[in-house]
């Protein structure tokens, strides 16, 4: 058992080193002066004149900080998979939320029950910086503006809902994983295609957050699919990332 654990640690360290070498280390400063560290993965072989999809990936609360590294912990390896890099070349943005901040909100909501989540609020400074960062990449001539996607887990799932509600015209598809949102806000996001994931045994973010989001989007006429994992706790991103056709579904979506 000790040998297996040691081997796993070595593998994780090797991946961390590989990821840090492959993802470009960048920092964005917003018009307000807020700094947002981020990592960028470019298409492995960029062809002149060709346009590529853009993926924005939002991490969870446990990966906050300013080391510009921890945000690669969950999901970063998925985009480094050689098969995925060849089959689905894309620009991938993975920003890191500062320790004292929270995607979508000024601070962590006092309750994560969907009906208790905030309804009307000004955009937070960190979300404003995130939008400005996204805009700089969408403006690039090699980015396909009809194929901009957003994925988020836990706190990032909340950020995914918030960004699609505020800027539905930007995103072709959204994948919130173990997130939550006040369902009354979601009618504004009905033009985005959603694939929602959650574990029914989640004790951190209630599964009702995703169930309520699905019902609200469905009622608004949105194109939405909900996948629930029986017995799965908060780490439902693991089965989500391994869900059959995860990448194929994402990269097949196109904004009309």
5 within a domain of the structure (yes/no) = no
pLDDT mean across residues, the chain: 92
Give the CATH number of the domain where residue 186 resides.
Answer: 3.40.50.1820
In the prediction, which pLDDT does 18 show? 54
Name the residue with tokens 């050689």.
82
DSSP annotation of 113 reads S
Sign of CA dihedral 60, 157, 185, 150: positive
Q: What is the pLDDT of residues 186-229, one digit of tens each?
A: 999 999 999 999 999 999 999 999 999 999 999 999 999 999 99
CB distance 125 to 97 below 8 Å? no
Judged against a pLDDT cut of 80, whether residue 6 lies above it is answered with no
| Segment among 18-32, 115-129, 234-248 with least mean pLDDT | 18-32
CB distance 185 to 217 below 8 Å? no
In the prediction, which pLDDT does 256 show? 80
Question: Which residues constitute the domain of residue 192?
Answer: 25-252
134 within a domain of the structure (yes/no) = yes
In the prediction, which pLDDT does 104 show? 92
In the prediction, which pLDDT does 17 show? 60
241 within a domain of the structure (yes/no) = yes
φ, ψ (nearest 5 deg) of residue 147: -130, 65
Name the residue with tokens 């058992």.
1
9 within a domain of the structure (yes/no) = no
12 within a domain of the structure (yes/no) = no
CB distance 237 to 205 below 8 Å? no
pLDDT average, residue stretch 16-23: 70
pLDDT range class, residue 65, cuts 50, 70, 90: very high
3 within a domain of the structure (yes/no) = no
Question: CA-CA distance, 247 to 115, in Å (whole number)?
Answer: 31
Judged against a pLDDT cut of 50, whether residue 11 lies above it is answered with no
Counted domains in the chain: 1
Q: How far is CA 110 from CA 64, 75, 179, in A?
A: 19, 27, 15
126 within a domain of the structure (yes/no) = yes
206 within a domain of the structure (yes/no) = yes
Q: What is the pLDDT of residues 68-122, one digit of tens each?
A: 999 999 999 999 999 999 999 999 999 999 998 999 998 899 999 999 999 988 8
Specify which residues 94 forms β-bridges with: 39
In the prediction, which pLDDT does 1 show? 44
Total-model pTM: 0.92
- According to DSSP H, which parts of the chain are helical? 2-22, 76-80, 82-87, 125-138, 155-166, 208-219, 237-241, 246-252
What is the 3-class SS of 31-53, one letter each residue? CCCCEEEEEEECCCCCCCCCCEE
Q: Enter the tokens of residue 98.
A: 């500062």
| Segment among 14-28, 63-77, 242-256 with least mean pLDDT | 14-28
CB distance 176 to 117 below 8 Å? no
Biggest CA pair distance of the chain: 53
pLDDT range class, residue 14, cuts 50, 70, 90: very low
Q: Enter the tokens of residue 102.
A: 């929270």
pLDDT average, residue stretch 134-145: 98
Question: CA-CA distance, 2 to 100, in Å (whole number)?
Answer: 37
Percent of residues, the chain, with pLDDT higher than 70? 92
Question: CA-CA distance, 239 to 249, in Å (whole number)?
Answer: 15
CB distance 95 to 133 below 8 Å? yes
């Amino acid at each position: 058992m000790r040998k297996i654990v040691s081997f796993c640690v070595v593998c994780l360290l090797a991946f961390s080193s590989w990821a840090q070498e492959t993802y470009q280390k960048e920092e964005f400063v917003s018009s307000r002066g807020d700094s947002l560290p981020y990592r960028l993965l470019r298409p492995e072989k960029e062809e002149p004149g060709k346009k590529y999809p853009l993926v924005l990936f939002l991490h969870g609360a446990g990966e906050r900080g300013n080391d510009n590294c921890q945000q690669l912990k969950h999901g970063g390896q998925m985009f480094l998979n050689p098969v995925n890099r060849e089959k689905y070349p894309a620009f991938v943005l993975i920003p890191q939320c500062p320790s004292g901040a929270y995607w979508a909100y000024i601070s962590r909501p006092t309750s994560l029950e969907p009906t208790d989540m905030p309804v009307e609020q000004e955009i937070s400074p960190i979300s404003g910086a995130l939008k400005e960062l996204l805009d700089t990449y969408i403006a690039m001539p090699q980015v396909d503006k009809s194929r901009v996607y957003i994925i988020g887990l836990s706190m990032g799932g909340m950020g995914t809902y918030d960004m699609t509600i505020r800027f539905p015209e930007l995103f072709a598809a959204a994948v919130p994983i173990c997130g939550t949102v006040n369902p009354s806000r979601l009618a504004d996001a009905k033009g985005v295609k959603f694939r929602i994931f959650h574990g029914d045994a989640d004790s951190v973010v209630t599964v009702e957050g995703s169930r309520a989001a699905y019902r609200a989007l469905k009622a608004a006429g949105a194109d939405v699919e909900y996948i629930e994992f029986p017995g799965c706790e908060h780490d439902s991103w693991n089965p989500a990332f391994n869900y059959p056709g995860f990448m194929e579904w994402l990269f097949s979506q196109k904004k009309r």
